[in-house]
Homo-oligomer: A and B are copies of this chain.
Amino acid sequence: MTDAPRHRVVIIGGGFGGLYTAKALGGAAVDVTLIDKRNFHLFQPLLYQVATGGLSAGDISSPIRAILSRYRNVKVLMDEVITIDPQAKRVTLQNGELEYDTLIVATGVSHHYFGNDDWAAIAPGLKTVEDALEMRRRIFLAFEAAEKETDPEKRRAWLTFVVVGGGPTGVELAGALAELAYSTLKSDFRSINTSEARILLLEGMDRVLPPYPPDLSAAAADSLERLGVTVQTKTLVTKIADDVVTTKQGDAIEEIPARTILWAAGVKASAMGKVLADRAQAELDRVGRVMVAPDLSLPTHPDIFVVGDLAHYAHQGDKPLPGVAPVAMQQGSYVAKLIKARLAGKSIDPFRYRDYGSLAVIGRNAAVVDLKALRLTGLPAWLIWVFIHIYFLIEFDNKLLVMIQWGINYFTRKRGARLITGEEGDPAIAAAALPQKEMANV
């Protein structure tokens, strides 16, 4: 052993990619610093449950410090990265600077309104805890407003929920909304019948869950329809304004009056993508994700890696790898292994994603599972979905609790975490969705 300075690894982002890199480097002969602007890791696959009152934000969040606490060579810093300098091998933070020998960027993606950024205030997306609480606030306020509204047309607009985007998030949101309206809330109101709520799922492609095999898409659409969701495929949203969603299906234009519009469509890369392009000559794809080499490094800078949703990995199959948690986890572990190999003077094979399959839940007893050898729908798929999601909450002290909460919700059909909070929120968003005169002080 020598007293030579240890290799310094800086990881930006505490999502699945960053966290799995840090964990896999725990105990290794390197000094790791993980930077995140939040102090908690968020289990995003269950965020739709927070948005619909089934779980609390705390149930699916875990303090990054607590997760990494036992790795004495890993330091956590709550800060925001402003820029990087690949020549000086330096990261500039809001509060200081850090030098690195190897840099891992894992800052993920946010949602994207295809150039219609003004839609964001009307149709919130679902990426952060705050997004989920904003959705929850709007969903439950809509039922409260409908209960008070005497004009039948306006009441109908309050009871119309439009989910834009038929990927896993959109399918899960629409399914949970159906459960809420047609089951959980059924006896809670006196003036409205929540069963009259209308839940629309709009998808631009010809089927929901486009990345899945066609038969599973069909099964998902069937399950959704049985739950009461109206699924409209080949349907584009052309305008969102004045509590009306305008859609285009072929040549047919429709205007749907709706007070609650939830966005589950496009994604775009986080700001670090552009920083890497500007400062490290990284090449970006159409949505701003970073094109990486077969070992996940930047072709221009072998000491910089990109993992998780921000990485565009085009070296396996005919499409880039999907932006899902298993890809991020495997990429994180791979980069950790590669760093250790390099320090030992060895090399390893390029990254290869092992795809164990895809899952999406639709609602109570309904899910679709594509485990390659095995394709399931309905209750068996739902049970597998629940099991896998609980299993991967492995970072969380409250795994058992979430499972019990789930069990209770399942049997009672209740959703206890339906607090309407943070009325102030983003004033722009609040004002757009809830005109002062009507809803200001509820």
Interface residues of A (CB under 8 A from B): 37-40, 55-59, 61-63, 65-66, 69-70, 75-80, 94-96, 129-130, 133, 140, 144, 147-148, 185, 187-190, 396-398, 400-401, 404-405, 408, 412, 414, 416-422, 424-426, 438, 440-442
Cβ–Cβ < 8 Å partners of A424 in chain B: 425-426
- A422 with B420, Cβ < 8 A, contacts A59-B56, A187-B70 known: no
The CA-CA distance from A148 to B425 in the complex, in Å, is: 28
Contacting residues, chain B, for A78 (C-beta < 8 A): 144, 147-148, 420, 442
Please give, as numbers and ranges, the residues of chain B lying within 8 Å of A133 by CB-CB distance: 421
Asked whether A57 lies within 8 Å of B419 as measured between CB atoms, the reply is yes
Residues of B within 8 A of A140 (CB): 39
| Separation of A185 and B129 alpha carbons in the complex (Å) | 23
Extra contacts besides A62-B416, A397-B416 (14): CB < 8 Å: A37-B441, A37-B442, A40-B420, A56-B417, A61-B419, A63-B188, A76-B190, A77-B147, A79-B441, A94-B442, A396-B416, A397-B414, A398-B416, A401-B401
User: Are A63 and B421 in contact, CB atoms less than 8 angstroms apart?
Assistant: no
Instruction: Establish whether residues A39 and B189, one from each chain, have CB atoms under 8 Å apart when the complex forms.
Output: no
Instruction: Give the residues in chain B near A396, CB-CB below 8 Å.
Output: 416
Partner of A40, one of B189, B408, B418, B426: B418
The answer to whether B129 and A421 touch across the interface, beta carbons within 8 angstroms, is: yes
Smallest Cβ distance from A280 to chain B, in angstroms? 22
Name the residue of chain B whose CB is nearest to the CB of A420. B39
Nearest-neighbour CB distance to chain B for A49, whole angstroms, equals 11
Query: Which A-B residue pairs are the 7 nearest by beta carbons?
Result: A56-B58, A58-B417, A56-B56, A65-B188, A80-B441, A78-B144, A94-B441
Q: Which residue on chain B has the smallest CB distance to residue A189? A: B65
Complex interface: chain B residues within 8 A of A129 (CB)? 419, 421
Q: Nearest-CB distance from A6 to chain B (Å)?
A: 14
User: Do A57 and B421 touch across chains, with their CB atoms under 8 A apart?
Assistant: yes
Given contacts A56-B59, A187-B70, contact A80 B442 (CB under 8 A): yes
**B188 A418 Cβ-Cβ under 8 A:** no
* Inter-chain contacts of A79 with B (CB < 8 A): 148, 441-442
Q: Which residues of B contact A405 (CB under 8 A)?
A: 398, 401
Given A416-B397, A421-B129, A440:B94 Cβ within 8 A: yes
The contact sample of 16 A-B pairs, CB cut-off 8 A, is A37-B441, A39-B140, A55-B58, A57-B421, A58-B419, A62-B416, A63-B188, A70-B187, A78-B144, A78-B147, A79-B442, A396-B416, A397-B412, A401-B401, A401-B405, A424-B425
CA distance A400 to B405 in the complex (A): 9
Which residue, A56, A69, A404, has most C-beta atoms of chain B within 10 A?
A56
Give bound CA distance, A249 to B175, whole Å. 61
